[in-house]
Amino acid sequence: MAAKWVNRKSLNKNGKVMKNAWVQWIVEQFRTLGPYFAVELILPGGSLLALLLWLYRRRLALHRHEGA
Q: Is residue 50 part of a domain?
A: yes
Q: Is residue 46 part of a domain?
A: yes
Q: Is residue 51 part of a domain?
A: yes
Q: How far apart are CA 12 and CA 68, in angstroms?
A: 35
Question: Please, what is the end-to-end C-alpha distance for the chain in angstroms?
Answer: 28
| Global pTM exceeds 0.85 | no
Q: Is residue 2 part of a domain?
A: no
User: Could you tell me if 40 and 20 are in contact, meaning their C-beta atoms sit under 8 angstroms apart?
Assistant: no
Q: Is residue 3 part of a domain?
A: no
Q: Is residue 55 part of a domain?
A: yes
Number of domains in the chain: 1
Domain that holds residue 26: 8-67
Q: How far apart are CA 50 and CA 27, in angstroms?
A: 20
Look at residue 48 in the predicted model and tell me its pLDDT.
92
- The per-residue pLDDT for range 7-52, each reduced to its tens digit, is 555 555 555 656 677 788 888 888 888 888 888 889 888 899 988 9
Look at residue 28 in the predicted model and tell me its pLDDT.
86
- Classified as helix, coil or strand, 13 is coil
Look at residue 16 in the predicted model and tell me its pLDDT.
60
